[in-house]
Amino acid sequence: MAGSTDGRVTAAVLIIGDEILSGRTQDTNLRDIAKYLGVLGVDLAEARTVPDVLEEIVAALNALRERYDYVLTTGGIGPTHDDITADAVAAAFGVELIEHPEIIAMMTARWGGVELNAARRRMARVPVGGELVKNPVQGPPGFTIGNVFVLAGVPTIMRGMLEDVGWRLRSGTVTVARTVRVEGSGEGVIAAPLEAVAKAHPDMSLGSYPFFGDGVYGSNLVLRSRDQDELAQALEELVAALKDAGIDNIREVENA
Amino acid sequence: MAGSTDGRVTAAVLIIGDEILSGRTQDTNLRDIAKYLGVLGVDLAEARTVPDVLEEIVAALNALRERYDYVLTTGGIGPTHDDITADAVAAAFGVELIEHPEIIAMMTARWGGVELNAARRRMARVPVGGELVKNPVQGPPGFTIGNVFVLAGVPTIMRGMLEDVGWRLRSGTVTVARTVRVEGSGEGVIAAPLEAVAKAHPDMSLGSYPFFGDGVYGSNLVLRSRDQDELAQALEELVAALKDAGIDNIREVENA
C-alpha cells in the first residue's frame, strides 16, 4: 500500500458501469463517498469510471489498489449477466470465487426456503479470502478483500454499506475546510491576494469557486487544512489581503 | 490514436479539481458530455477525476490521449493559482505556453481597455499549436491541441463550449437505446431471460437497472445497439423470453 508515506491516508473510488458512461445515470456515489471519507480523515485522491468490461475493471482495480491505501468500488454486484465486479475482483487478486454460505443462508431465508436460482446464487459469490460488508438496506451484502471494498451501485444501498466500511479504515487527521464568500468581485482581482496567502501556506489547499447568476457574482474561497490553528491564521491573512486589494464584500459562510 | 480499430470512435473525460474529490461539488459534466458525445456516435469509454496537482493531471492526460480517440478535460482554466490545466496540457505535449493574442484582445475589450493584471493574463495562456474553443457564455475560451479539448469546469460554460467541439470530432455510428420496464419482478427472475437474449446478441449491450420505493419495484432493461434492426429484433426476443418466464408486467418506456 502506497500513499501513506507523508502521513496521509488515501483512497480511490472505482465506479463500474455502462450506465454512467452512457450518460443514462447521474453518479452521486463519488460525492457521498468523498464526504464520508473526509470525516474519517481519509483523502479521496482519484476516481475512475470504467465500463462493464472485465479487463477494464481488472486493470483499473490493480492500478488503484497498488497506489492508494484503499479502493472502494461501486456497481456491478447484482444478479444479471452484466454484473461482473466479483469476477473482476477475483481475477485482480488471482483467487477463485466461492458461494459464501452466509449469503446463501440469508437469501434462502429471504426467499422462503425455496431453492435459489442461478441468478440469485450469482450474488452469493465472493473471492476466496473476502469478508462480507453488511447491507442494512436491501439485498445481499458487499465484500472486502485486501484493501478493496466492493459496494452496490444503487445509492441508498451504497450509503448503507459504507457504515460497515468506516470502522475498518485507518483514520487520518481530518481536513477541515472554511469558506470565505466574496460578492461583487471577480476572480481576476481575487487571484493575487489569494495566491499570496496560498504561497505562505504551502501545506494547505486554497481554491476559488466562482459563481454568477441571479444578479450576483463572486467567488467562494475554500481553505482546507489538517491544522486548525494554521487554518484560522490563513483565513485572517486572506481577509486582510482581500481588504488591502480593495475588496470588502467578504464574509465567512458555512461550507457549501 | 487508438480505440478506432473496431470502427468505434472513443473518448475519455478527465475531470480536474480538488472540489470534486473533496465532495464539495457534485460533478454533472460527465453526464452532459456523455449525452452530447452519444448523439455524435462517440463512445465515452472511461473517465478519471484527479486533484489540482500538475503531475497527476499530466500522467492521466498522457494515459488517456494515447488510448482513446479524444480526451475532454473539465476544470482548472480560471485565473487563480490553483488553475493549472493549461500548464499540465503544455507539459503533457512537451510544448511552451504562450499568451494567445486573440484572448488578450477579447479580455482587453471586456475590461474597457485597461491593462490586464497577471491573473487575467493567466487565462490567455494556450499551449503552442493549440486552437481556441469558443465560449458563448462568459469569460475566456477553452482550447484544443492534438486530440485533447480543454473546457471550463462551470457546467453552464462547459456546455456552451461543447457546441464548438462536436464539429471537430469524427462521428461514429450512433448507438440507440430502447428501454423495457418490468414492474413487480426482481432481477433474480429477470436475469435468466435477459442473459439468454444478451448471449444471442454479443455485439449489443443489455443492462438491468433495478428500482424500488414508493410501493413499486422492478427493473429497467436497457438494450443498446448501433444496428436498429438488430435492436428491434432483440427487444422482441426479450419481451417473448420474459413472458415465457411468467413475467408479464412489461412495457417499453422512453429512455430514462
The answer to the question of residue A223 being in a domain is yes
Counted domains in chain B: 2
Q: Do A78 and B192 touch (CB under 8 A)?
A: no
The answer to the question of residue A3 being in a domain is no
Residue in A31, A30, A33 with CA at minimum distance from that of residue A163: A33
pLDDT band at B3 (very low <50, low <70, confident <90, very high): very low
Give the pLDDT of residue B115: 86
A146: CB partners within 8 A, 6+ apart: A65, A93, A129
B213-242 pLDDT, tens per residue?
Answer: 778 899 999 999 999 999 999 999 999 999
Intervals of chain A under pLDDT 70:
1-6, 256
- For residue B69, the 8-state DSSP code is S
Residues B164 and B183 in one domain: no
Q: What are phi and psi of B208, to 5 degrees?
A: -120, 125
CATH for B249 = 3.30.70.600
Given a cut of 50, whether residue B178 has pLDDT beyond it is yes
Give the pLDDT of residue A6: 62
Residues A28 and A133 in one domain: yes
Of the residues B136, B152, B168, the one at which a domain ends = B168
Closest-CA distance, B202 to chain A, in angstroms, reads 12
Closest partner residue to B195 (CB to CB) among A31, A80, A212 is A80
> What is the interface size between A and B, counted as CB pairs within 8 Å?
193
CATH for B149 = 3.40.980.10
Closest partner residue to A38 (CB to CB) among B22, B78, B191 is B22
Given a cut of 60, whether residue B4 has pLDDT beyond it is no
Give the pLDDT of residue B256: 57
Given a cut of 90, whether residue B71 has pLDDT beyond it is yes
Closest partner residue to A22 (CB to CB) among B17, B38, B195 is B38
B16-45 pLDDT, tens per residue?
Answer: 999 999 999 999 999 999 999 999 999 999
Closest-CA distance, B120 to chain A, in angstroms, reads 5
The answer to the question of residue B221 being in a domain is yes
Residues A20 and A51 in one domain: yes
Residue in A220, A211, A185, A187 with CA at minimum distance from that of residue B122: A187
Residue in A166, A163, A204 with CA at minimum distance from that of residue A70: A166
A210-249 pLDDT, tens per residue?
Answer: 888 778 899 999 999 999 999 999 999 999 999 999 999 9
How far apart are alpha carbons B187 and B112 in whole angstroms? Answer: 62
How far apart are alpha carbons B167 and B164 in whole angstroms? Answer: 7
Name the pTM for this structure. 0.92
Residues A102 and A161 in one domain: yes
Mutant choice from B6, B8, B19 vs A, greatest count of A C-beta within 10 A: B19
Q: What are phi and psi of A126, to 5 degrees?
A: -135, 140
Residues B70 and B187 in one domain: no
B109-156 pLDDT, tens per residue?
Answer: 988 888 889 999 999 999 999 999 999 998 899 999 999 999 999 999
A86: CB partners within 8 A, 6+ apart: A77, A97, A125, A126, A127, A143, A150
Q: Do A177 and B122 touch (CB under 8 A)?
A: no
B53: CB partners within 8 A, 6+ apart: none
Residues B132 and B246 in one domain: no
Residue A165 near residue A72 (C-beta atoms within 8 A)? yes
Give the pLDDT of residue B6: 62
Task: Tell me the percentage of chain A whose pLDDT exceeds 90.
Answer: 86
Residues B150 and B104 in one domain: yes
The answer to the question of residue A144 being in a domain is yes
Residues A150 and A192 in one domain: no
Range of the domain at B48: 9-168
Residues B142 and B186 in one domain: no
Give the pLDDT of residue B214: 78
The answer to the question of residue A52 being in a domain is yes
How far apart are alpha carbons B225 and B205 in whole angstroms? Answer: 7
How far apart are alpha carbons B186 and A107 in whole angstroms? Answer: 13
The answer to the question of residue A229 being in a domain is yes
Mutant choice from A81, A138, A179, A211 vs B, greatest count of B C-beta within 10 A: A81
Given a cut of 90, whether residue B1 has pLDDT beyond it is no
Beta bridge partners of A133: A142
ipTM for the assembly = 0.91
The one-letter amino acid at B179:
T
Chain B positions in Cβ-Cβ contact with residue A50 (cut-off 8 Å): 46
Residues A44 and A163 in one domain: yes
Query: Helices (DSSP H) in B117-250: which residue ranges?
Result: 118-122, 155-162, 187-200, 228-244
Residues B160 and B195 in one domain: no
Residues A115 and A217 in one domain: no
